[in-house]
Amino acid sequence: MSYYERHIFFCLNRRDNGEACCADHDAQAGFDHCKARVKAEGLAGPGKVRVNKAGCLDRCAGGPVAVVYPDAVWYTYVDQHDIDEIVDSHLKQGKPVERLKLAPNVGR
């Protein structure tokens, strides 16, 4: 058994050169909301879920992005309601949210 059942990584990268980045889409707010929801739902901690910050995940064109491991499910999201759906469906019940999956061909 793994130390955590699932990790969700949120790209919080900021680019100062004008290129697309997740920070331009308020990724920090998505991360903060997810972390609070996971904790409030009792999902945080060993054997459960870990919410992590990440630098560039190299999928900038789909930003903001997050990825859940070990499931390797990539998400894009718009607001707190999307984050709630990821928490309630994927992190809580193990069911990926199809409508929020990032298309596989989206890169930088």
What are the structural domain ranges in the chain? 6-100
Confidence at 1, pLDDT banded by 50, 70, 90: low
pTM: 0.94
Encode pLDDT of 22-57 as tens digits: 999 999 999 999 999 999 999 999 999 999 999 999
The tokens for 13 are 């990268």
Confidence at 2, pLDDT banded by 50, 70, 90: confident
Q: How far apart are CA 84 and CA 38, in angstroms?
A: 9
State the DSSP code for 72: T
CATH class of 6-100: alpha beta
- pLDDT at position 81 is 97
Neighbours of 54 (CB within 10 A): 18
Residue 65: is its pLDDT beyond 70?
yes
